[in-house]
Amino acid sequence: MRHHNSVFHEVLKHLPWGEFERLVQAHGADCRVRRLTTKSQLVALLYAQLSGATSLREIEAGLKSHQQRLYHLGVKPACRSTLADANALRPAEVFAELFAIMVRRMQRGLRRSLADTVYWSIRLGCGSMPAASSGRASPSEFVASKCM
């Protein structure tokens, strides 16, 4: 039987795990941690956000129901009290800086996507690029006006 990754696993593949580990080390987020690692906490919080869980009990129950899938991600399900302690005591800067890294990467990707869109619209004959001057349309406005 062929293996299929879950949608949640596909979402997690886009996280910069190397950068995340560096942030955990820099902030000492896993110092003296016995049960719930910062990675497990992040996965639990992402699961809660994507599943619409509104309480720690819902998060705990949902993660326990997917325990076999979590194993393949290298994550353990969190108990309610352990997750509450981690949320209260862990430095939030780890997650804030991870978010900032992801936003910077997203913006770079959007710029690249826009450049590709402009290039292919010109190649497909939707028009020619206007001269670069102060009164002209931006590339995205140009593509929208000529090709849509």
pLDDT in tens, 105-128: 877 667 677 566 655 555 555 544
Q: Is the pLDDT of residue 13 over 90?
A: no
Q: Return the pLDDT at 109.
A: 66
Q: Which range of residues forms the domain containing residue 104?
A: 92-148
Q: Which two tokens stand for residue 40?
A: 């497990």
Q: Structurally, how many domains does the chain consist of? A: 2
Same domain, 101 and 117: yes
In this prediction the pTM is 0.68
Q: Return the pLDDT at 116.
A: 67
When pLDDT is averaged across residues 52-75 and rounded to a whole number, the result is 87
Q: Which residues does 115 contact at the CB level (< 8 Å), separation at least 6?
A: 139
When pLDDT is averaged across residues 14-34 and rounded to a whole number, the result is 92
Q: How many CB atoms neighbour CB 134 within 10 A?
A: 4
Q: Who wins on pLDDT, 121 or 145?
A: 121
Same domain, 54 and 120: no
Q: Return the pLDDT at 140.
A: 44
Q: What proportion of the chain, given as a percentage, has pLDDT over 70?
A: 69
Same domain, 74 and 118: no
* Backbone phi and psi for residue 140, each to the nearest 5 degrees, phi listed first: -70, -40
Same domain, 100 and 56: no
Same domain, 46 and 100: no
Given 64, 91, 118, which residue is the final one in a domain?
91
Q: Return the pLDDT at 133.
A: 40
Q: Which of 146, 145, 141 has the alpha carbon at shortest distance from 125?
A: 146
Q: Is the pLDDT of residue 95 over 50?
A: yes
Q: Return the pLDDT at 130.
A: 43
Same domain, 8 and 66: yes
Same domain, 29 and 57: yes
Same domain, 19 and 39: yes
Same domain, 111 and 145: yes
Q: Is the pLDDT of residue 79 over 80?
A: yes
Q: Is the pLDDT of residue 142 over 80?
A: no
Same domain, 73 and 6: yes
Q: Is the pLDDT of residue 70 over 60?
A: yes
* Backbone phi and psi for residue 22, each to the nearest 5 degrees, phi listed first: -65, -45
